[in-house]
Amino acid sequence: MKFYNREKELEILRKADSLKMKHGIMTMVIGRRRVGKTALVLQDFSEGDVLYFFASKKSEPLLCEEYLDEIATVLSEKPHGRIERIEALFAYLLDLAKVRPLTVIFDEFQEFARVNPTIYASIQKLWDRHKGEAKIHLITCGSVYSMMKRIFEDAGEPLFGRNDFTIDLKPLRPVVLKEILEDHGAYSARNLLDFYTMTGGVAKYIELFVLGEAYDREQMIEEIISPFSLFLDEGRNRLVEEFGKEYGTYFSILSLIAASKTSRSAIESILERNVSGHLNRLENDYAVIKSIKPIGTKPNTKVQKYRIEDNFLAFWFRFIYTYQSYIEAENFDRLKEIIRRDFSTFQGYFLKKLFRELMKREGYSQIGSYWERGNQNEIDIVAVDEENKRLVICEVKLSAKRLNRDLLIQKSVNVLNKYPGYDAEYRLLSVEDIDRYIRYAQKVG
């Protein structure tokens, strides 16, 4: 598949790579799994030799053997003597970089902690000693936010402050999804919404749908719910190992959030246990969910909801995990019927999410949603323009026929009270408005 977007990230990599001729440069690339980090760092941005190493869950000697094979293949270099520790291999790379410029990529860098917890201290010691002479661009990629942040941003960690550049890779924006659909002759506002709902802009899912020529809802459902589909085990493949032995509890929480049980109280009433610690770890350690508070409320308010950040994971927990028995019985047709029956209800949230993302291009100081206890007076989108003392208050529905301006005005009374002196603009948005908003987003860039 064609490599889309990422011009700014590639420019950072090119700049960092050019600076290695002066001294060693370190770049950290983070982002959720499947977002396209590996594809980015393997683009042609370097003028010198490039070495790519994946930190798989192997013993240290086996990893060194694998890495030495890569060095021999790319550089036609072999060390004198045996190397069975990452520390010795890293020292060897630094010595090579003193005589020939190198770009060295360590993918899933956080996994070294499982191989040998002292590796980061060894790398720090060698880096500080040799980076002044070594013409090396060291790129460390990682998918586990909490671990990568701790490695490079915790003052107590050996590599604290060592990275010169940081790239936090985000999913592709809706305007890029439109470009992809147009390139394959499949663009429509409805297809864009379906494509966004299922992929959320995550590169790996986009690639799989493009390979399967699945661009609308029905095609994507057929691609996902079929024997040997790579999508069926996606949630387990991504999360079981990270969650460890408590994965069952985490999966139960995520399936409830995906089924619109989005408050802590609703989750705890069903699971009959305290889940505050699990919710905290899901958000702050694993970056799988995000807590959302009503716009205009105080930071310490206890009124909040939780949402799964990754669109496809939300779909996976809502339909595939929940109805796993149908998959095990190979009753794929019945599961497809359930998805078709419930998809519009599921998709409503993602239409709101899409419009919020598109409206960010309009330059508001804040944008979010609003509700009161018990989900009273719920408003889909509230955008705040502090500079011009202006509020934009939106109701969003899949069908324009269900929009109700009078009810929206009625529900917004308490929002207006939170922003005295602000002018209010009311908007009624449906699928039919996507084209207009995405054209504006393309225009402003």
pLDDT at position 148 is 86
Q: Does residue 416 share a domain with residue 268? A: no
Q: Does residue 14 share a domain with residue 149? A: yes
Report pLDDT digits (tens) over 410-443.
Answer: 999 999 999 999 999 999 999 999 999 999 998 8
Mark which of 168, 186, 209 sits at the end of a domain: 168
Report pLDDT digits (tens) over 293-306.
Answer: 999 988 888 889 99
Q: Does residue 312 share a domain with residue 367? A: no
Q: Does residue 102 share a domain with residue 32? A: yes
Mark which of 312, 329, 346 sits at the end of a domain: 329
Q: In 3D, which of 216, 184, 222, 182 has the Cα closest to residue 199? A: 216
Name the token pair of 271.
Answer: 């699971």
pLDDT at position 420 is 94
Range of the domain at 259: 253-329
Domains in the chain: how many in total?
4
Report pLDDT digits (tens) over 115-171.
Answer: 999 999 999 999 999 999 999 999 999 987 678 888 998 888 999 989 999 999 999
Q: Is residue 269 part of a domain?
A: yes
- The position carrying tokens 């996976």 is 316
Q: Is residue 156 part of a domain?
A: yes
Phi (first) and psi of residue 76, to 5 degrees = 55, 40
Q: Does residue 90 share a domain with residue 185? A: no
pLDDT at position 1 is 67
Q: Is residue 340 part of a domain?
A: no
pLDDT at position 311 is 96
Q: Is there a contact between 313 and 225 (Cβ–Cβ < 8 Å)? A: no
Q: Does residue 158 share a domain with residue 32? A: yes
Q: Is residue 244 part of a domain?
A: no
Q: Does residue 312 share a domain with residue 192? A: no
pLDDT at position 442 is 87
Q: Is residue 343 part of a domain?
A: no
| CATH number assigned to the domain comprising residue 436 | 3.40.1350
Q: Does residue 32 share a domain with residue 156? A: yes
Q: Does residue 178 share a domain with residue 164? A: no
pLDDT at position 153 is 85
Q: Is residue 117 part of a domain?
A: yes
Q: Is residue 122 part of a domain?
A: yes
Phi (first) and psi of residue 17, to 5 degrees = -65, -35
Q: Is there a contact between 388 and 375 (Cβ–Cβ < 8 Å)? A: no
pLDDT at position 48 is 86
Mark which of 208, 224, 240 sits at the end of a domain: 224
Regions of the chain with pLDDT less than 50: none
pLDDT at position 299 is 81
- Residues 287-317 as b/e (b if ≥16 CB within 10 A, e otherwise) read bbbeeebbbbbeeeeeeebbebbbbbbbbbb
Q: Does residue 161 share a domain with residue 89? A: yes
Q: Does residue 300 share a domain with residue 384? A: no
| CATH number assigned to the domain comprising residue 159 | 3.40.50.300
Q: Is residue 210 part of a domain?
A: yes
Q: Does residue 151 share a domain with residue 207? A: no
